[in-house]
Each structure stands twice: as structure tokens, then as C-alpha cells.
Structure 1
Amino acid sequence: MEEIRYIEIVAQYQDMVYRIALHDCRNSHDAEDIMQTVFMKLYQKNPEFDSQEHLKHWLVHVTVNECKRLIASPWKKRMEFVQEKEKKEQGQAGAEGYERIREKELLEQIFRLPRKYRVPIYLYYYEEYSVADIGDMLGKSPSTIQTWLSRARKKLKKLLEEVKYYE
């Protein structure tokens, strides 16, 4: 792979790969490791892509597989999840500060969902993939993805009601 093309791909898709890994692993350090592994595989394997969508699909698929590999590792199974404390945002005022707080609350509740629901929620709502595309990426049928999304919405609604998100 040409170095310039590789750098362009990394610059364009690193945020997407990181966010998918973060939604799956719930840990920024693991997400960074996975992102690095995904782009290393891209560079080493140098696969041929038919289109930008094919490239994006490949990156999502490899990211999800790397997350599964990490979570299934013996080391990870022994470790307890430690929630990172986010830095306090300074200089926010008015509606913008309120919206950022609401987004943070929503993200925290999404992280509380079972693992199998987090990635489909992210891919559907943030990356705007269709149910069929998500099913293809995750190796599941579209009806399974639709069921997971429905269950995730119900669980998320319940979690948001518990923290009085709607008030």
C-alpha cells in the first residue's frame, strides 16, 4: 500500500474505528490499542478494495473482530472494568454546556447496555448503516440485528428513566 494512501485512510477513518472500539470495549486505552491493531492489519495485509464503502465495511468488520478477540482474552476476563473519570469540561455555559452534559449522560447509559447491543446501536445511529449492512458486518441476520436494536432501545429507555434523563 502506498504510504500516502495509507495516511489518508488512517486520517479519514481513525475516529470511526476508535468510536466503534470504545463502544464495544468501554475503555479508551483498549480502544486505542484496537485502533492501532486494525490499521496495522490494513497496512500489512494491503487488501484490494472495490470502493470506499468496501474499505469502510472492512475496517468495521476487523474492528469488531479485534474487540471480540480482546474481550475473550484470558487477561481481560480476569480484569475488572474500571470506569475512567472524565476531565471536567471548563468554560461551558448556557445551552451548549447543557447539551454536552446530556450527551455524556446518554453515552454513559449506552455503555451500561449489554455488549451485544452497544455496537449495533452505534453503527445504526451514529454511522447510519442499515440493519442489513450491520448484520453483514457482524455476521448476524438482519432480523437478529433488528431484535437487538429493539431490545437495546427498550433497555436504554428504562436506564434513561432511572437517571431522570427526560425531566
Structure 2
Amino acid sequence: MKQKPPHTVEALQSEAFMEHAIEHHRGAVLRLALARTHSATDAQDIAQDVFIKLLRSATRFHDDDHLRAWLLRATHDSCIDLHRQAWRRRVETHEDMAAVADRETWDPAIEEVVNHPVWTAMERIPDKLRCALHLFYVEGYGIAEVADILGCTEAAARTRLHRGRKKLAAELARLEAAGSAPASAHSTAADSNDPTDPAMQQTAY
């Protein structure tokens, strides 16, 4: 049964609504922002921006699924805006982030992603493919929902998943050879020709 937010009037007028949204969906916003930007700092900035947009939004949400999808679309759009603007920081590798960021300030949702062995492979996949994989395998969305959040056709979403899975398998194989990734992750990614194979969820962070 779909969970309903405690208050479905305009978010601008509802503190309870905002508390619910942050408590239940901030982790998903942070994970997608991190998958898109590679930067823990940028991900946290984007999350703040997204929830400010929600606070100012007059959208009436039908249920919690509607709210979550709205937040992830807003996250995706904010990531694109960040990419286009001059204030975007350089793309950081996992090692860079560990060296320059104060990890004590990281949100647990970011720690969960960055510490997962598959993250190193995921961050080397092109942004569009990585976001499609993340939404499908990590957040659990179907093809139509992935397409809606990313603003593309279902055919394009399916293509991104197919290409992303192939690139992920290649990266995992390379990391496995270097001793940096578990063999099970590579075999799961490589065995199926179906880009929407639920078994791929085994590799999700």
C-alpha cells in the first residue's frame, strides 16, 4: 500500500510535509546527486537546493511515490544546472574526496554509496548511463519511471540501461583483475543480456 505524506497541501505552507519529505527521501536525493556529480559536497548542496525548491513549490502530491519522483526529477534537473554553471567544482575521484573532504560531515546516504565496492566502477561510467542504472537498480524504478525522471523516451532509457550495464561489467572486470572489486559483482553484471535483469540489483550499492 502506498504511503501517503502526512500533509498534501502546498509544501510552502506545511512544515510537517517538509519534515516528512526530508526524513523519507533525502537519502534518495543524495544518492542520485552523488551518482550524477561524483562530489559529496556538490551532492549535499544539490539536496539543499532541491528541498528549497520543494518548500517553494505549490505542487499537490497524490502520494509518497509522486513526491519521491518529483524530488528525483528536481535532483536530476539541479545536477544538469550545476553542470552547466561555471561554479561547478572539478569532478573528484573517490580518492580525491577521501583526501580533501571532512568525512565526518558526510550524510550516511553518501557514506553508504562511496564505501560500496561497486561505486568505483559506477563513477567511471558516463553520467547519463550511470543515472539510468542508479534509478533502475538502486532506487527500483521501472523503465517508464526512469524515462520520466530523466526526461527521455522509454526507448532511450532502455538503451542507456543496456549500454550502462555493459560498461559496468567492463569496469568491474578491470577492477576485479586489479583486485579492487568482488568477482561476484562482475559475473552478475556480465552474465545477463537483459539490461533490466533484476539479478543486477546484486551489484547495487
Answer yes or no: same fold by TM over 0.5.
yes
Alpha-carbon separation, structure 2, partners of 1:136 and 1:59: 12
Q: Displacement of 1:118 after TM fit?
A: 1.3
Q: Displacement of 1:5 after TM fit?
A: 2.0
Q: Secondary structure at the match of 2:117?
A: helix
The match for 1:154 among 166, 174, 179 is: 166
Task: Judge conservation of contact 2:121–2:172 (CA < 8 Å) in 1.
Answer: yes
Alpha-carbon separation, structure 1, partners of 2:43 and 2:74: 13
The equivalent of 1:140 in structure 2 is: 152
What TM-score does the superposition give when structure 1 sets the normalisation length?
0.84
> 1:126 corresponds to which letter in structure 2?
V
**Aligned counterparts, 1:48-59, within 5 A:** 48-59=60-71
Q: Displacement of 1:82 after TM fit?
A: 2.8
Alpha-carbon separation, structure 1, partners of 2:17 and 2:92: 37
**Aligned counterparts, 1:1-167, within 5 A:** 1-76=13-88, 79-83=89-93, 84-85=97-98, 104-164=116-176, 165=181, 166=183
Q: Displacement of 1:113 after TM fit?
A: 0.4
What TM-score does the superposition give when structure 2 sets the normalisation length?
0.69
Where does the alignment leave 5 or more consecutive residues of structure 1 unmatched? 88-99
RMSD of equivalent CA atoms:
1.8
Q: Displacement of 1:70 after TM fit?
A: 0.3
Q: Displacement of 1:74 after TM fit?
A: 1.9
The share of aligned pairs that are identical, in percent, is 28
Where does the alignment leave 5 or more consecutive residues of structure 2 unmatched? 1-12, 102-111, 185-205
More helix by share: 1
